Amino acid sequence: MPSILIYDTTLRDGSQSEGVSFSVNDKVRIAEKLDELGVHYIEGGWPGSNPKDKEFFKIMQTKKMKNSVVTAFGSTRRANIQASDDNNLKELVDSGAAVITIFGKSSDLHVKDVLKTTLEENLAMIESSITFLKESGKKVFYDAEHFFDAYKRNAEYALQTLITAQNAKADFIILCDTNGGALPLEVANILKDVRLHIKIPLGIHCHNDLDLAVANSLAAVEAGCTQVQGTFNGLGERCGNADLTTIIGILHTKTHFKAIPESKLKNLTEAAYFISEISNVKLPDNHALVGHSAFAHKAGVHIDAMLKNPLAYEHLDPKVIGNHRRFLTSELAGKMPIIMKAQKLDIKIDKKSEEAKKLLELLQEKELQGYQFEAADASFEILLKRQLKKYKPFFDLESFKVTTEKRNDGKMFAEASVRLKINGQEEYGASDGDGPVDALDRALRKVLTKFYPNLQHMRLTDYKVRVIDSKAATAAKVRVLIESQDDTDAWTTVGVHENIIEASWEALIDSVEYKLLKDTKK
């Protein structure tokens, strides 16, 4: 089967996402995860631009990669100097990377208005930079920046920049939709013309400003590109880059192309959550293929059909890409999700049994009180285990206390303390936090991590509060939903009470206990 080379730029382009800042250790951990997955190329950064990237390449020279090649990124030389005198090019050579990716200007607009040089000098910059790197023993990938916009503006000059890179013996030419404004049909048609002039391998690099980066990348593959550049989870500046998570999944399950080793495809979802955790950017529940809701079914009619034949409402088996099917539990779904949850606990319950009836009544009563289990399946699993006497608490609450104080400097201060009984022994912990829930979470972990070290790998990623009955004003019940995540999974828990702290505590406890339950199954 035709193989597509996957070129990951999470560590460089992805780090340009608003709010993302990778430490050197973060970058090393992500690189190792991508290597495990079988990604072909990992762009580590721009060693000439900052000390962090320079340190990363130094560390990676000591690492032995099994599947991936680490590449360094930079630009063509500056105008009107020799390539051998350009410090950035020297840093690229000294990075230790066997493959160097450099970008150059394809657009006459950028040459004249941004570089402030001539069209001829830009061609010379491309030629001499690639030649210098090749003579230094490097494999060179040339990123044709803004290529599609450049082609639409001045096709003749845009093509001339590619021909110059080809004549300089670049190993790959990558066409970049840098502004993210191209359409799939444009990409396909422009590539047809490019292939008449360029005989060396081509790649594609798309940004997602029109939400078309994946579609444009796939159009480019169908048009003959054999390398796809992008980031995991679509990280990147502005609206992000082409999402390699989705592209890899589609290539393997929907086309005749392959990318990573077939045996690694089942690790795709786990890798997406791992990178989400390190980058501190929540993976959307409705993310294609790997999202928490990607294979979730709520309507009773859908669930009934799925039980008869999964093809009824699923385009592929979620296990193929490491995800799993979920039947959401709500008053709309009837007894089947309850029965199926029980079966996962090795408890057989007949749809017509008294147990099934009682469990459905419990669910309906809870939802009448304001609980919403369709969005909190972790809390429902714990509720079910308690009801079926299949649950032994990991700890018992003796008491907790929360204080919030506004000081004379205007700053808010929250402090919490908890008393727990673990294995018959009373334990105490206290901590401050950004708010009362954060303080409670820190105090709880302070006690529990001594007994359950795995909790260090879990964090809260989202916190939502909903007033259930606004007519009751300040006496109204509130529903708190807490989403948590570790290196491999995400889950949501719920709490309901008139007191927002108690509702938060209930959701927080369920979240921690679900993590502990999950880990005991491994």
Of the listed ranges 194-198, 270-274, 350-354, 396-400, the one predicted with least confidence = 350-354
The H or E element spanning position 57 is helix 51-60
> Is the CA virtual torsion 355, 360, 361, 365 positive or negative?
positive
pLDDT in tens, 440-460: 999 999 999 999 999 998 988
Confidence (pLDDT) at 479: 87
Domain containing residue 311: CATH number:
4.10.430.20
Residue 394 included in any domain: no
Residues contacting residue 292 through CB under 8 Å, at least 6 positions apart: 283, 285, 326, 490, 491
Tell me if 519 is assigned to some domain: no
Q: What is the pLDDT of residue 263?
A: 95
Residue 331 predicted with pLDDT over 60: no
pLDDT given for residue 390 in this prediction: 75
* Residues paired with residue 422 on neighbouring β-strands, in sequence order: 425
Q: Who's near 54: CB < 8 A, 6+ residues apart?
A: 47, 48, 91, 95
Which amino acid does the sequence have at 520?
A: T
For residue 307, pLDDT beyond 60: yes
| 401 backbone dihedrals φ, ψ, rounded to 5° | -140, 140
Q: In whole numbers, what is the pLDDT of the chain averaged over residues?
A: 89
One domain, residues 171 and 272:
yes
**pLDDT value of position 149:** 97
Residues 237 and 128 both lie in one domain: yes
Decide if 389 is inside a domain: no
Please state, in angstroms and rounded to a whole number, the distance separating the CA atoms of residues 376 and 365: 16
Does residue 275 sit in the same domain as residue 333? no
What is the distance of C-alpha 110 from the center of its chain? 32
Distance of alpha carbon 203 from alpha carbon 106, whole angstroms: 15
Are 221 and 261 contained in the same domain? yes
Residue 503 lies inside a defined structural domain of this protein = no
pLDDT of 417 above 90: yes
296-297/227-230 β-pairing: unpaired
Q: Which of 172, 166, 100 is nearest to 136 (CA)?
A: 100
Beta-ladder partners of 74: 102
My answer on whether 191 and 339 are in the same domain is: no
Q: Are residues 48 and 164 in the same domain?
A: yes
Indicate the residue among 228, 245, 279 that finishes a domain: 279
Tell me, yes or no, whether 162 and 60 share the same domain.
yes
Among 227, 245, 279, the domain boundary falls at: 279
Q: Which of 369, 402, 434 is the last residue of a domain?
A: 369
Q: Answer yes or no: is 464 within a domain.
A: no
Side-chain half-sphere exposure of 418, counting CA atoms within 13 A: 25
Residue 83 sits in the same domain as residue 230: yes
Residues 307 and 195 in one domain: no
Give the strand pairing for 99-105 and 396-406.
unpaired
Claim to verify: residue 191 and residue 51 sit in the same structural domain = yes
Q: 333: which residues sit within 8 A by CB, 6+ positions away?
A: 298, 299, 300, 303, 327, 374
CA distance 192 to 339: 55
Q: CA 205, 206, 211: angle at the middle one, nearest 5?
A: 160
Please check the confidence at residue 329 and state whether its pLDDT lies above 60: no
What mean pLDDT do residues 199-210 have?
98
On whether both 139 and 112 belong to a single domain, the answer is: yes
Q: What CATH number corresponds to the domain at position 140?
A: 3.20.20.70
Query: How many structural domains is the chain composed of?
Result: 2
Tens digits of residue pLDDT in 237-284:
999 999 999 999 999 999 999 999 999 999 999 999 889 878 888 889
Residue 113 falls inside a structural domain: yes
- Name residue 38's beta-bridge partners: none
DSSP bridge partners of 46: none
- Say if 223 falls within a structural domain: yes
Residues 270, 300 within the same domain: no
- Tell me if 19 is assigned to some domain: yes
Residue-range definition of the domain harbouring residue 312 = 296-369
Instruction: Give me the pLDDT at residue 475, please.
Output: 59
Q: How distant, in Å, are the alpha carbons of 341, 374, 376, 389, 462 from that of 383?
A: 11, 13, 11, 10, 21
Distances (CA, A) of 102 to 27, 143, 460, 505: 20, 6, 39, 52
